[in-house]
């Protein structure tokens, strides 16, 4: 086996190991969300990854996600009012 082939084999093995670790962590996150905040998984299109992102964004302040406007303000994407309207 050539040195390049050995390196490629080692890289492929490492990719498989990391992929397995990622899958395991994703499953753990999904179980945690299902156990503690199953209501986040109810809307169509919200999976464990999105639910975890919302929980991290919310932190210790659940009031910050009271609606779309408050979430937009939290993320810094809410429109700034001008005298001629919203921008």
**What is the domain partition of the chain in residue ranges?**
3-81
Q: Where are the alpha helices (DSSP H) in the chain?
A: 3-36, 48-58, 68-75
For the stretch 33-68, pLDDT in tens is 999 888 888 887 888 888 888 888 777 777 766 777
Task: Work out the average pLDDT over 17-22.
Answer: 97
Rg of the chain (C-alpha set) = 21
Of residues 54, 60, 28, 26, the one with CA closest to residue 40: 54
Percent of the chain with pLDDT over 70: 82
Average pLDDT, the chain: 83
Please report the sign of the dihedral spanned by the C-alpha atoms of residue 16, residue 22, residue 27, residue 28: positive
Average pLDDT over residues 58-80: 72
pLDDT for 14 equals: 98
């Amino acid at each position: 086996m050539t040195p390049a082939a050995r390196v490629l084999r080692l890289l492929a093995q490492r990719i498989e190991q990391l992929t397995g670790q990622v899958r395991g962590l994703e499953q753990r996150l999904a179980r945690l969300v299902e156990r503690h905040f199953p209501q986040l998984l109810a809307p169509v299109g919200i999976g464990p990854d999105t639910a975890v992102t919302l929980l991290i964004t919310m932190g210790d302040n659940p009031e910050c996600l009271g609606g779309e406007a408050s979430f937009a303000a939290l993320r810094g994407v809410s429109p700034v009012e001008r005298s001629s309207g919203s921008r």
